[in-house]
Structure 1
């Protein structure tokens, strides 16, 4: 008998993940990964594991024993009570942890669901630029990556189609900005699941990027009108040339009630044509069979008959923790390790004479104020978990941290693969100050200091370049 492959499925409790899990558990043993995996019961071919991919240790444990890993992760939603930083930088951390863990656990192939990357010579939107960067990060450590690139996915949940359906339901007439006439190739959820399944099974498409789309090329207005027809509506259209993408994302968020974290990146991407490209076409995978009208009917009928609401993701609740992530320049010749130590030295020079910093022979850093022997923060270097490309410090004490609750708080400096850039990130930090006081004092100060540090590194890099020329 052939051995069933073991598939590690990230986002197994999400919209795409739940449906993919049902499809592949018939032929594979699945390690279903979720931040709240302990809430789900195991079955004969499904084992649930709790996993926080912001932790490299968690990522390594999550992929243990797997042959293939499916990456369905996106960080558009906040991941802590206070999340400082862009979704692009969060996505880099998640992908880098996952890719390094995949290499360590000898994963044979990563299958990644992403967006179609257009070749329209326009600068990519933030959302698509981030999706492409994640694809490159996943490939950076040698594990083959099969990227399934899709446009708008039509189904009863998710994000894009529910936004479109809510616009049609709630507006008796619609203003049509320029982006509503942009062509796209929507694809039904079952066709996406088929493509992902092929990515796991079909070794001939390993390490390729494959575009997938449905049988029709349409404009967003075409999709709105077809959706309106299914709902028995006939909205009036008012084309306007002057509403920008920025204005559009605002009114879409207001009309649909969706959070700006979801709406803004998606609307910004609608300026691009999202059509399957010939160079990324694979027969039997790229060409979805289900029409837009058929998939939209199914989604809307699911809402009406089965009580499945066309529901957008909602902001989760969090403990009083902090995640703060910033991207900075890496000067030539420097490493993540050396930049971390330099940051502590620079911090004292910036805030002299009020702040004093020390670093001992074990790289334990203490940041304090001049008139007190007690440190504000104490950072303990993790030698075992650090490399030249990643310096990891655990937050182990200080007046500004809640020592009882702060069990996983950490600061890291991480080089982005193939770029002269660093991610500087604080994870799961539990402040000792009352939340309101912390948010408008210490948190604000940290952002200000990181902006100054970023500008300082840019200046330092420019000076090194001048000296070499």
Structure 2
């Protein structure tokens, strides 16, 4: 099958490429800078590169007419003024381009976001736009993704560099259901032209439900090979927490701000329908962290 991949330079997109190639698919990657992509990806000579910026419709090369399915994995934009409008514009330009092909399915990935902050509302708008495409839509919503190079791992690494760790009380109690990166890839690949997933939305998550404090303790045990001490404080402002995360970890302030907002709430799956449609051997938190140690 011929597959179009957007977000090929992103964390998940870069890891999806070898999985699709291993299954014998022909992969076309939509990238802004082919030379940069060639420097960053060892698979550049195994895929077709299509030049274009989804924020600039006139920059888009014509997509191959015989595309079978497409992944919309465009990274969320930083929460700055006007970002929601730019995300909507990107999705609109994508739909306009993909409707000129024979694409039968669009697969999108985002986070479970029950509290619907600014970023969550913007993502819902993007999903509404994607649903207007001629192709069937499959939306996967994940919990916290844990794997080498993931934002979650950078967060755990940064917070456990020094001891004790001081975190807000609501962070410590927030329930998480982390999913291994490899399992996210399994689900993305498993949805491909699977008619049972057409025009549907699914939650994807790992098998463990733990508090964020337990995640920190488990990370210390598996990756630091020492007991991590966690101290909680009753009140820490969101702004202070964001600056603190930005200082301790490689995470940008905009991403840190989003993380702080998300860590105020439980992030667990409420729907396991996908597990019946696409059977996957899910990794536990310890198993996912062991691969990163």
Q: Which residue in 1 is equivalent to 2:29?
A: 32
Structure 2: distance between partners of 1:169 and 1:65: 50
TM-score, scaled relative to structure 1 = 0.57
Q: Which residue in 1 is equivalent to 2:144?
A: 152
Higher helix share: 2
Structure 2: distance between partners of 1:11 and 1:221: 32
- Pairing partner for 2:249 from 256, 265, 273: 256
Structure 1: distance between partners of 2:185 and 2:272: 21
Structure 2: distance between partners of 1:194 and 1:101: 27
Summarize deviations over 1:397-439 as a string: whole Å, max 9, x none. xxxxxxxxxxxxxxxxxxxxxxxxxxxxxxxxxxxxxxxxxxx
Q: Which residue in 2 is equivalent to 1:274?
A: 267
Matched, 1:180 2:180: no
Q: Which runs of 5 or more structure 2 residues have no equivalent in the other structure?
A: none
Summarize deviations over 1:78-100 as a string: whole Å, max 9, x none. 9xxxxx73432221111111122
Contact preservation (8 Å) 2:168, 2:235:
no
Q: Which residue in 2 is equivalent to 1:106?
A: 102
Q: Which residue in 2 is equivalent to 1:241?
A: 234
Partner secondary structure for residue 214 of structure 2 = helix
Which range moved further: 172-181 or 218-227?
172-181
Matched, 1:165 2:163: no
Structure 2: distance between partners of 1:274 and 1:173: 21
Cα shift at 1:137: 1.5
Q: Is the alpha carbon distance of 1:272 and 1:143 closer, same or farther for their aligned partners in structure 2, counting shifts above 3 Å?
A: farther
TM-score, scaled relative to structure 2 = 0.88
Structure 1: distance between partners of 2:82 and 2:279: 31
Q: Which residue in 2 is equivalent to 1:197?
A: 189
Q: Which runs of 5 or more structure 1 residues have no equivalent in the other structure?
A: 79-83, 302-469
Structure 2: distance between partners of 1:152 and 1:286: 20
Cα shift at 1:151: 1.2
Q: Which structure ranks higher in relative contact order (CA pairs < 8 Å, sequence separation ≥ 6)?
A: 2
Summarize deviations over 1:56-84 as a string: whole Å, max 9, x none. 24446246442211011124359xxxxx7
Q: Which residue in 1 is equivalent to 2:19?
A: 23
Q: Which residue in 2 is equivalent to 1:225?
A: 217
Structure 2: distance between partners of 1:266 and 1:276: 18
Contact preservation (8 Å) 1:150, 1:213:
yes
Q: Is the alpha carbon distance of 1:140 and 1:170 closer, same or farther for their aligned partners in structure 2, counting shifts above 3 Å?
A: farther
Q: Is the alpha carbon distance of 1:288 and 1:253 closer, same or farther for their aligned partners in structure 2, counting shifts above 3 Å?
A: farther
Q: Is the alpha carbon distance of 1:286 and 1:74 closer, same or farther for their aligned partners in structure 2, counting shifts above 3 Å?
A: farther
For the pair shown, the structure with the greater C-alpha radius of gyration is 1
Structure 2: distance between partners of 1:100 and 1:20: 24
Partner secondary structure for residue 149 of structure 1 = strand
Structure 2: distance between partners of 1:179 and 1:296: 20
Summarize deviations over 1:155-201 as a string: whole Å, max 9, x none. 11132221222111244332333133111211001100011001213
Q: Which residue in 2 is equivalent to 1:371?
A: none
Structure 2: distance between partners of 1:278 and 1:184: 15
- How many corresponding residue pairs? 286
Structure 2: distance between partners of 1:146 and 1:99: 14
Partner secondary structure for residue 104 of structure 1 = coil
Contact preservation (8 Å) 1:213, 1:286:
no
Structure 2: distance between partners of 1:49 and 1:252: 36
Summarize deviations over 1:325-383 as a string: whole Å, max 9, x none. xxxxxxxxxxxxxxxxxxxxxxxxxxxxxxxxxxxxxxxxxxxxxxxxxxxxxxxxxxx
Summarize deviations over 1:263-304 as a string: whole Å, max 9, x none. 1123212223221113754425486610111111212x3xxx
Matched, 1:96 2:92: yes
Q: Which residue in 2 is equivalent to 1:208?
A: 200
Contact preservation (8 Å) 1:20, 1:193:
yes
Partner secondary structure for residue 145 of structure 1 = strand
Summarize deviations over 1:88-116 as a string: whole Å, max 9, x none. 22211111111222222232111001111
Q: CA RMSD in A?
A: 2.3
Contact preservation (8 Å) 2:109, 2:140:
yes
Matched, 1:76 2:71: no
Structure 2: distance between partners of 1:55 and 1:126: 24
